[in-house]
Structure 1
């Protein structure tokens, strides 16, 4: 019967596991940076939209105060 955890005597069998782990970590980092970049762009768009709405509200209030 084979043991539940297998630790090979030949340590070169760890190389594919480390390569796979390195690739997964690299891909996770790349995806993290892409999401962060996209989020920053969305935040800038939202700030511009907020400024536009506030400007329109100020103009509306200013026009109503003239009446």
Structure 2
């Protein structure tokens, strides 16, 4: 059997792992939201400058 895998009988030991996973997932989602928002702002700025040069 695979002795390197450890699944505790006491399922309450999973709680810290789930909480830390949630923290990292929420952090990743917040980071992606911030990057998309900054990217959209940068795109609008670029398009505005491009339109001014085009005229």
The TM-score normalised by the length of structure 2 is 0.93
Matched, 1:8 2:8: yes
1:43 is aligned to 43
Q: Post-superposition, which runs of at least 4 consecutive aligned residues in structure 1 deviate over 2 A?
A: none
- Structure label with greater radius of gyration: 1
Residue equivalent to 1:64: none
Unaligned residue ranges in structure 1 (runs of 5+): 56-67
Superposed CA RMSD:
0.5
TM-score (norm 1): 0.77
Deviations 1:7-60 (A, max 9, x none): 0000000000000100000000000000000000000001001101101xxxxx
Unaligned runs of 5+ in 2: none
Aligned residues: 53
